Amino acid sequence: MLPQVRRTYAPRGRTPLLRHRLNWKRASMAGSLGYHSTDPDRGARLCFHLKPGSYDTAGLIEVLEQMKVFYRGERVVLVWDGLSAHWSRAWVASQDWLTLERLPAYAPELNPVELLWSSLKKRELANLAGDHLADVADATEQGIHRINHNPQLPWSFLAHTGLAIHPPSPPNLRKDQVVHQLG
């Protein structure tokens, strides 16, 4: 999350300058978009975590522990990209609330969170040269609020990927009943 340089307007002959003191080296953000499969009217839920530096396996486990609290014990299917820090299989296997699904390698177009980051970087973080990590955190939080206040936006991120959420069939419903109901 270094400054994102974007095109802007300026008077003719006055090239705008983006000055950054680099008082902080790097910030990383982990985020998740939660979609409720059996009740889409509940809306999408956005969970994020910002920290100085980079994430490693221990840092991501901390984020997942916070996500468990955020989703209040609901069962979660987590779709993860191929980031190398996402390889904490032993920890994930010990979590009864969490099911892990992996995206194919190098497939950001299938990840709705990538569209979330793009939206933040194009608006709230565009040309932001904050002196402190708190400046970036504040701008990011404003973007998160903007996205949360538009109920269609998180769903549009999912729709743009071409992925869909299908609620599981009730366990007492036989396959022939499903066909009969659909037919």
pLDDT above 80: residue 17: no
The reported pLDDT for the residue numbered 142 is 93
pLDDT above 70: residue 108: yes
pLDDT above 50: residue 173: no
DSSP type of residue 126: B
Dihedrals phi, psi of 144, to nearest 5 degrees? -60, -45
Helix (H) or strand (E) holding 70: helix 57-70
Q: Which residues are within 8 A (CB) of 130 and not within 5 positions of it... i.e. 6 or more apart? A: 20, 136, 139
pLDDT above 60: residue 1: no
pLDDT above 80: residue 127: no
Distance (Å, whole) CA 98 – CA 106: 23
What are the Cα distances from residue 64, in Å, to 84, 100, 101, 160?
16, 12, 14, 25
Task: Sort 60 into a burial class: Cβ within 10 Å, 0-12 / 13-18 / 19+.
Answer: buried
More confident residue, 10 or 61: 61
More confident residue, 138 or 25: 138
Provide the 3-class DSSP secondary structure of residue 38.
coil
Tokens in use for 85?
Answer: 């820090």
Distance (Å, whole) CA 175 – CA 18: 61
Q: Which residues are within 8 A (CB) of 162 and not within 5 positions of it... i.e. 6 or more apart? A: 110
The reported pLDDT for the residue numbered 165 is 77
* Amino acid (one-letter) located at 1: M
What are the Cα distances from residue 45, in Å, to 9, 40, 94, 167, 173?
35, 11, 24, 17, 29
Q: What is the pLDDT of residues 39-97, one digit of tens each?
A: 777 778 888 888 878 888 888 888 888 888 888 878 888 887 766 655 667 787 888 88
Mean pLDDT of the chain: 77
pLDDT band for position 178 (cuts 50, 70, 90): very low
User: 127 with 106: CB under 8 angstroms?
Assistant: no
Distance (Å, whole) CA 5 – CA 44: 29
User: 34 with 47: CB under 8 angstroms?
Assistant: yes
Distance (Å, whole) CA 159 – CA 173: 28
pLDDT above 50: residue 181: no
The reported pLDDT for the residue numbered 143 is 92
